[in-house]
């Protein structure tokens, strides 16, 4: 893959927004929200790109999982993708407000489901407005349909694969959280490359030259598994590796929430084995 197949800039979207087959989704997640603050959906209702529908991450998450935002089983996921109007030939644009990982998580879900024409709006809604794009209020939806994509089963890794990777020098397991979080507790033997090191601010990917430089060392592994707290931030690094041509990349969906919750091997400075991940 390359950047142009995965990322769209606001100027290009402005030129093609009225194209018949294009579908835009606001995939915002609010990571640090107070109870009195508007929800992501309420924010969407107040302002969004004209025609954009809302990509509700909860609808793509397994309600039977003990961990937040765990991906749905394949059949249910395909059904949900069709339910929001995405078909195999749809041109899909995803964006978020303020935080790139929300949009990259939505991109990774569709990538896993085998969709080959999905891009993230670099810079999100702020970039759209800066480029002169209009906004609208209220809810939009696309006509429901049937999605029959061919799943990329290796795009997500389970805990068993991560455990096996601990004994395999050809697989790099990469923590994408801030360094202080990594130092507190991380999967034994894993390395750290914070997703923030690959972004401009919190909303856009760095230019290709800078991405390549920052990923150079980690790209030597034959397979790369990225992880974070709950499989969200890890998708930034996973997308970046794909953009730089490393196709053998997976996201550990359970990430630290599952790893610590299952009592699997960690190392770090936290005396309580990072109790926070048991509570999420």
Start-end of H helices in the chain: 3-6, 10-16, 40-46, 74-83, 100-112, 124-130, 159-165, 179-184, 208-215, 234-243, 255-261
Give the per-residue pLDDT at 276.
Answer: 47
Please state the rounded mean pLDDT for residues 25-38: 86
Average pLDDT of the residues of the chain: 93
Matching fold, domains 3-151 and 154-278: yes
pLDDT on residue 246:
94
Collect all residues with Cβ–Cβ distance below 8 Å to 23 and sequence separation of at least 6.
53, 85, 86, 90, 91, 92, 93, 142
Confidence of residue 219 (pLDDT cuts 50, 70, 90): confident
pLDDT in tens, 76-110: 999 999 999 999 999 999 999 989 999 999 999 99
Q: Are 50 and 17 in contact (CB under 8 A)?
A: yes
Rounded percentage of the chain residues whose pLDDT exceeds 90: 89
Which CATH architecture describes the domain 3-151?
Answer: 3-Layer(aba) Sandwich (3.40)
Burial class (CB in 10 A: 0-12, 13-18, 19+), 32: exposed
Average pLDDT over residues 166-177: 97
With a pLDDT cut of 70, the percent of the chain lying above it is: 96
- Tell me the per-residue pLDDT of 136-154, one tens digit each, with 9 for 90 and over: 999 999 999 999 989 999 9
Instruction: Look up the CATH number of domain 154-278.
Output: 3.40.250.10
Taking alpha carbons only, the member of 164, 234, 231 closest to residue 194 is 234
Whole-number pLDDT of residue 19: 79
For the segment 157-164, the average pLDDT, to the nearest whole number, is 98
> pTM of the full predicted structure?
0.95
Task: Give the model's pLDDT for residue 278.
Answer: 45
pLDDT, tens only, 228-278: 999 999 999 999 999 999 999 999 999 999 999 999 999 999 755 545 444
- List the chain domain ranges: 3-151, 154-278
């Amino acid at each position: 893959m390359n950047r142009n197949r995965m990322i769209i800039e606001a100027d290009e979207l402005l030129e093609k927004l009225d194209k018949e087959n294009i579908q835009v989704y606001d995939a915002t997640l609010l990571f640090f929200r107070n109870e009195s603050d508007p929800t992501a959906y309420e924010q969407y209702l107040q302002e969004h790109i004209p025609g954009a529908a809302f990509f509700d991450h909860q609808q793509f998450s397994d309600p039977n999982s003990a961990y937040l935002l765990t991906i749905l089983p394949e059949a249910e996921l395909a059904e949900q993708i069709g339910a929001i109007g995405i078909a195999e030939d749809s041109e899909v644009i995803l964006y978020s407000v303020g935080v790139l990982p929300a949009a990259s998580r939505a991109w990774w879900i569709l990538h896993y489901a085998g969709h080959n024409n999905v891009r993230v709006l670099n810079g999100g809604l702020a970039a759209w407005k800066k480029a002169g794009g209009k906004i609208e209020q209220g809810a939009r939806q696309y006509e429901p349909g049937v999605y029959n994509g061919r799943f990329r089963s290796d795009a997500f890794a389970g805990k068993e694969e991560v455990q096996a990777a601990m004994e395999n020098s050809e697989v790099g397991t990469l923590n994408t959280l801030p360094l202080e979080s990594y130092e507190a507790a991380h999967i034994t033997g894993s390395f750290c490359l914070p997703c923030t090191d690959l972004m401009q601010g919190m909303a856009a990917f760095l230019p290709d030259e800078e991405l390549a430089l920052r990923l150079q060392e980690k790209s030597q592994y034959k397979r790369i598994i990225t992880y974070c707290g709950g499989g969200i931030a890890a998708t930034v690094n996973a997308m970046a590796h794909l953009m730089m041509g490393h196709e053998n990349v997976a996201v550990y969906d359970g990430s630290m929430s599952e790893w610590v919750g299952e009592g699997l091997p960690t190392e770090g400075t936290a005396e309580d084995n990072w109790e926070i991940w048991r509570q999420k």
